[in-house]
Amino acid sequence: MKILVTGATGYIGGQMAHYLSSQGFEVLCMTRNGKAVGALPIAEGDLLKPDTLLNALEGIDVVCHFAGALGRGLTDEMVHAINVTGLKNILTAAKQKGVTYFLHISSGAVTGPMGPTPANESTECHPYTIYERTKLEGERLALSFSKELGLPVGVARPTFTYGPGDPHKLLMFRYIKKGWFFYIGDGYSTNHPVYIDDLLKGLLLMIQEQPVQEVYILGGPKAVSKREWAETIAKELNVKPPWFCFPSSLAWAGAIVMETIGKWIGIEVPLTRSRVLAMSRCWGMDIQKARNDLGYDPVVRLSEGVAQTVAWYQKNGLL
Ligand SMILES: NC(=O)c1ccc[n+]([C@@H]2O[C@H](COP(=O)([O-])OP(=O)(O)OC[C@H]3O[C@@H](n4cnc5c(N)ncnc54)[C@H](OP(=O)(O)O)[C@@H]3O)[C@@H](O)[C@H]2O)c1
């Protein structure tokens, strides 16, 4: 089985490419501008340049599509272009090249901010940010493309992923170390961290089982409160746990003011409405469908995963 991994210069795609290679699969990494992924073979490919995709897909059986825009530092139009138009381009190219399975990496965030009941794959989605909205649009596009054009597509929704090497959560760890981290709301709203190794195993199960037109949430063993998350990190760093709670309504008003100023002077501001929602609302997920159908079994406890992550950041001089 020859697998093309898109987004292989990114965090999860890079980890998956190395994991698949270590499991004996033939892996080709799709990257832009000749960027390397360790010693793995690469093929040039840009989601927004359809011709490059046809070349990258030559001889490929399975596509693991991680490439995407998380939303930071890009206009809404760019995020839409990468997460929706770019996805359509690679689905079209994959169909043309006779790919036998296309694993699309969506996100647990497609539900948008939730209440205390954990979301499952059938929960109605109310995405808020451009990232959430375009990931949902992409997921729906991939499923309808599969139905109408016969490309076998499965959709994975990873939850909040963390682990050694993750550049995206580093700032949070740094803020907790410096004592700058605070809660928005009371800190008891949930999050659903998944340790990278658990996620990779879940994604491999999808590649092996090849479920078609099915969506699977791949999360950690359980949802945790923001307090449990931050206190676990503080404990591992041997610093005082965060304690300050900023009222959500004030944070919301502050975010509107900051966003307006940020737009005027053209800078990214630290407090935005999407951050307020991320911090104050619940994001717990139900992973029962993946457990039942795929045998998915995440085992890494939060304390263990955080310890590994902190150790990696420290070893690499980042924390
Ligand atoms: N991180 C999480 O907690 C999380 C949780 C749930 C779902 N996800 C999803 O998982 C996927 C990977 O996330 P990540 O955290 O690994 O993201 P990441 O580190 O930001 O990586 C994004 C990747 O997409 C590539 N890319 C962007 N635009 C492209 C284009 N036009 N053509 C080709 N490649 C392009 C980037 O390549 P360059 O290096 O060239 O920019 C990079 O390799 C995303 O689809 C994300 O929505 C992530």
CA of 190 to the centre of ligand 1 (A): 24
Counting atoms of ligand 1 from 1, which one is nearest the CA of 109?
A: 6
Judge if the beta carbon of residue 11 lies within 6 A of ligand 1.
yes
In the 8-state DSSP scheme, what is residue 140? H
CA of 132 to the centre of ligand 1 (A): 14
Low-confidence ranges of the chain (pLDDT < 70): none
CA of 65 to the centre of ligand 1 (A): 9
The pTM score is 0.96
Q: Whose CA is nearest to atom 36 of ligand 1?
A: 7
* pLDDT tens-digit map of 50-64: 999 999 999 999 999
Both tokens assigned to 17: 């490419």
Counting atoms of ligand 1 from 1, which one is nearest the CA of 32?
A: 40
CA of 156 to the centre of ligand 1 (A): 14
Give kind and range of the element (H or E) at residue 275.
Answer: helix 273-280
Q: What is the pLDDT of residue 85?
A: 98
Q: Which residue has the tokens 């409405």?
A: 273
Judge if the beta carbon of residue 105 lies within 6 A of ligand 1.
yes
Q: What is the pLDDT of residue 283?
A: 96
Q: What angle do CA 7, 169, 66 make, to 5 degrees?
A: 15
Q: How is the beta sheet containing 2-6 ordered, strand by strand?
A: 42-44, 26-31, 2-6, 62-65, 101-105, 153-158, 215-218
Query: What is the pairing mode between strands 224-225 and 190-191?
Result: antiparallel
Q: What angle do CA 106, 114, 70 make, to 5 degrees?
A: 35
Judge if the beta carbon of residue 47 lies within 6 A of ligand 1.
yes
Query: What is the pairing mode between strands 160-162 and 193-195?
Result: parallel
CA of 235 to the centre of ligand 1 (A): 30
Q: What is the pLDDT of residue 118?
A: 95
Length of the chain: 319
The partner residues of 63 in beta bridges, in order of sequence, read 4, 102
Domains with residue ranges and CATH for the chain: 2-168+192-223+284-300 (3.40.50.720)
Q: Which amino acid is at 201?
A: K
* pLDDT tens-digit map of 266-299: 888 888 888 899 999 999 999 999 999 999 999 9
